[in-house]
Structure 1
Amino acid sequence: MGGLGCPVSLALARAGVAHLTIVDADTVDLSNLHRQPWHHDADIGRPKVVSAAEKLRAKFPALSVEPLQQRVTSQHVEALFASHDLVIDATDGVHTKFLLSDASVLTGVPLIYGGVLRFEGLAMRIERGGPCLRCLFETAPDDVPTCAQAGVLGSMAGLMGGVQASLALRPNAQRGIAPLQVIDGHSFSFRAVKVRKRADCAACAPGAKPVLSDEESIAACQPPASTSPVRSAP
């Protein structure tokens, strides 16, 4: 329940969602407070899911909240998807994002991909019949900094959480195409890149079946050029 998880959970609760399962193994740190509004000074050192669940229940008494203090791994990710209507990617680890995308392809449960780095944010709805994250980023460089290394503007995390919540509440308009929302908080530019389902995608092409693994490491934090389909990460 970090920079994306806090605002997206608030937006969904306000929209009337009846149940939220929140998953995070981390604890609250002082450096989190400027962009993670569920956590306060008194919560430092506490599990993030416990802190966030308390605030959500207090603000929305009718909301059912299940906090899970654990990492998302290949051992249980498929079961996690199968027991929910939709999953939102609010993670900071790039490999976890690909693991979630693969689980979405396997189960058919929609996933709202999201990422934020410095002043830039990305978001896309992944659903059955449309492109997955491996259609978007076929390969990736080794020198892309992590979000922890590069930093994140707190207000951008809040903005992208709101975008993810909006994507969660409606399906994509065109089958086989998903708009990747690219937001630049430095220039205040917004654009949508049409991402098409790749016929040779290793995960979602006909006959393909992704293998859920915790060993692969792929970096894809930064937004691609405005081409369609997007074949490579920057």
Structure 2
Amino acid sequence: MSRYARQICLPEVGETGQAAIKAAHVLVVGAGGLAAPVLQYLTGAGVGRMTVVDGDVVSLSNLHRQTLFRTSDIGLSKAVVAAKTLRELNSECRIEAVETPLDPANVTALVAQCTLVLDCADSFAVSYILSDTCKMLGVPLISASALGMTGYVGGFCGTAPSMRAVFPGLPDRAATCATAGVMGPVVGMIGTAQAQMAMAYLIGQTPSPLGQLIRFDMQNFRGSGFRFDSAPEPAADLTFIAASDVTAEDFVIELRDIDEAAIPATENARRLTVAACAAQTLTPAADQRAVFICRSGLRAWQAASHLRTYWDGKITLIAMGDTPPTERKPI
């Protein structure tokens, strides 16, 4: 009996669906808690090729939910350890590890070669960078997020609207698993749903997971969902760029303080807070591009949104690292 017999016998899969699974190249961004069930289930199902992107290393405080890793893996590359484990799970799958963070400089090359993208990262910036790129290239995106005891998973781009159609703006404050905490089983449940939506797309299931969002609330043991197939697609106004794309002609605002970044991202950057940006009228030249820089992208988004209320020039954002504890985001 073949490894995949129990899924091939499903009428929704069959030999045709299994062939589609084998032919797929799935890009998984993030190798943490959401990716643990995603990577294991997709590898077990026989996805022909997967690229795992993560620039982080295994840490002790994440082991309660990042179940691909062991205590002996602490300090090692998450992408490399995950790839090694997955190859041992199913040698028929081709697994590639990319040990660098996803950013605007590498995203197009990574997405362009794939059948499907899964966003398992704990980052606002990565989610919007992936959504904008997937929308531009016509590649479907299954994105998920978990925090505390709640979370969501949705199918975007491809034949569906992008994340900007459902989440047009960021909240006032934000948090990550590192700053606000998260329950391991909640992450695993949402990651498993993400894996199932990925499988549904690969086998051509009807209704399509693209255009569907599912919310989970395990504090109150309930869930909800809705379709957004006809949601209007807004213009991708505040987009992210790589730090290497900044030029000497740009109007650059560095929102990280000295404790976060002793040296500004660029020599010509002005160091301000979001409050300071809101309290004054910044005046880029008409032909300049405004660039706002912070760690997670949230403060850059807030400051840029204020500028947009009175200036119609080009505005871009840069996210330079992890979210500081001062940024909070309830789901």
TM-score between both structures, scaled by the size of structure 2: 0.61
Query: Is the 1:94–1:220 contact (alpha carbons within 8 Å) kept by the matching residues of 2?
Result: no
Is the counterpart of residue 51 in structure 1 residue 81 in structure 2? yes
**Corresponding residue number in structure 2 for 1:181:** 214
1:74-104 per-position Cα deviation (integer Å, ceiling 9, x unaligned) = 0110111101111100000111111111011
Selected match of 1:190 from 223, 238, 245: 223
Greater than 4 Å deviation, 4+ residue runs: 172-175, 209-212, 218-223
1:93-148 per-position Cα deviation (integer Å, ceiling 9, x unaligned) = 11111111101101111110110010011100113231211011122322232332
For residue 60 of structure 1, report the CA deviation from its aligned partner: 1.2
Query: Is the 2:161–2:232 contact (alpha carbons within 8 Å) kept by the matching residues of 1?
Result: no
1:148-180 per-position Cα deviation (integer Å, ceiling 9, x unaligned) = 2111110111111111111112248568x7121
Question: RMSD over aligned Cα, in angstroms?
Answer: 2.4
Selected match of 1:3 from 30, 33, 58: 33
**Corresponding residue number in structure 2 for 1:145:** 175
For residue 196 of structure 1, report the CA deviation from its aligned partner: 4.1
Paired residues, number: 218
**Corresponding residue number in structure 2 for 1:79:** 109
Q: Which secondary structure state, in structure 2, belongs to the residue aligned with residue 104 of structure 1?
A: helix
1:14-71 per-position Cα deviation (integer Å, ceiling 9, x unaligned) = 2221111100000011111111111101111110111111111112121111001001
The percentage of counterpart residues that share the same residue type is 33
Higher relative contact order (CA 8 A, sep 6+): 1
Structure 2: runs of 5+ lacking an equivalent: 1-30, 243-292, 302-326
Paired AA for residue 43 in structure 1: D
Q: Distance in 2 between matches of 1:220 and 1:136?
A: 20
Which stretch of structure 1 is more off in the superposition, 45-54 or 191-200? Answer: 191-200
Query: Is the 1:115–1:221 contact (alpha carbons within 8 Å) kept by the matching residues of 2?
Result: no
For residue 220 of structure 1, report the CA deviation from its aligned partner: 10
Q: Distance in 1 between matches of 2:233 and 2:65?
A: 39
Selected match of 1:62 from 92, 95, 98: 92
For residue 11 of structure 1, report the CA deviation from its aligned partner: 1.0
Q: 1:222 to 1:189 in 2, by over 3 A?
A: same
For residue 199 of structure 1, report the CA deviation from its aligned partner: 3.1
TM-score between both structures, scaled by the size of structure 1: 0.85
What does residue range 113-152 of structure 1 map to in structure 2 within 5 Å?
113-152=143-182
Structure 1: runs of 5+ lacking an equivalent: 204-208, 224-234
